[in-house]
Structure 1
Amino acid sequence: MSRTRPVSLTLDEFLPYRLSVAANVVSQRVARVYVEQYGLSTQEWRLIAVLGEDGDRTQLELVKRTRMEKVPVSRAARALEDKGLVRRTTNESDARSRRLSLTAAGRRIYERVAPAALEAEAEVLADLEPGERAVLRSLLERVERTANRSLKRAP
């Protein structure tokens, strides 16, 4: 009979847990701006941010860009359309899909929230030196690339 050592997982040292906790706390800080002032959910703000930065996109492109599931993207898109912040039109190259674009009101919110979000980010990163910020970004990008490669290889 072979004895196996019990698995010892310390959450505070487990990278996925630490990344999740850090992401949630940072997102909550930034969310104050768009939740309190504009009543937007995190998913709705993500779509506005992508559309504000990238321009018109299909819902599938938004799924890929935000790494959100299809259903939350669809719900957020409908909610934004109901609020008059996004316009959904038939995609000319594929009539089954929808293309989203910001309305003038959606563009105004993006232009107001984006600078406030950047200020919140600066506040969160204030204790890091510029070099440390660059290293953090670089390390996060590398971890993300490695995880993406692993996902593509997985069955």
Structure 2
Amino acid sequence: MVTNRPRLDFSEYLPYLINRVGWLLVVDFGQNTLARHRLSIAMWRVLAVLANDGGQRQVDVAARTSIDVSTLSRVVTRLVKMGLVTRTRSATNNREVVVRLTPKGAAVLARVIPHAIALERRAIAGVPAEDLRVVRRSLRRMYQNLASSAGISERTAAPLLRRSAASAASSSRRR
């Protein structure tokens, strides 16, 4: 008896391919760089976002890093204890907490970022620039599709989508 079971070529299944690449990047970066600084991937994401965007409300850091608010609170507490960030009440709203990078945090990032860039370069070696633009644009679109279907707010998804639009505009100006 022949059954018509759904088939899936796992080696071509996009979520699997994305996960494989992501897993190798996380393992390499975590073990070879972040561990030396006693940082986790979540801590790295918080520091990187603060370095790029300056001091922010903790809820906005959660949105930009894709870390849920309760987990982020623990991550920020650890970073505060390490002296890498400060956490203060907002001057405009006492219920909001603002997180800022400290000079020590900036110094750690100055040592870590070159390794992050080198890892990305290793990962994309041999991939043509146009293909990379398509991959980045496609991944942002996939994120937007999934965020929308999952009911994730525009405010939460907005930082990634703004970068997508800025990248596309920059790319078209170079042509």
TM score, norm. by length of structure 1 = 0.86
TM-score normalised over the length of structure 2: 0.77
Paired with 2:123 and 2:89, the residues of 1 have a C-alpha distance of: 40
Cα RMSD over matched residues?
Answer: 1.9
Alignment of 1:136 onto 2:135:
yes
Structure 1 gaps of 5+ residues are none
Aligned to 2:118: 119
Rounded Cα–Cα distance in structure 1 between residues aligned with 2:33 and 2:49: 15
CA deviations on 1:84-107 (whole Å, 9 max, x unpaired) are 111111112221221110111001
Structure number with higher strand proportion: 1
Change (3 A) 1:34 1:99: farther
Matched, 1:98 2:75: no
One-letter amino acid of the counterpart of residue 112, structure 2: V
Q: How many residue pairs align between the two structures?
A: 150
Contact preservation (8 Å) 1:90, 1:97: yes
Identity between Structure 1 and Structure 2 (%): 27
Aligned residue type for 1:19? I
- Superposed, 1:31-70 pairs within 5 Å as 31-70=30-69
1:5 shift after superposition: 4.1
Structure 2 unmatched ranges of 5 or more: 153-175
Structure 1 stretch displaced more, 55-64 or 13-22:
13-22
Give the match for residue 8 of structure 1: 7
Match of 1:17 in 2: 16
**Bigger mean CA deviation after superposition, 43-52 or 14-23:** 14-23
Residue 60 of structure 1 deviates from its aligned partner by 0.3
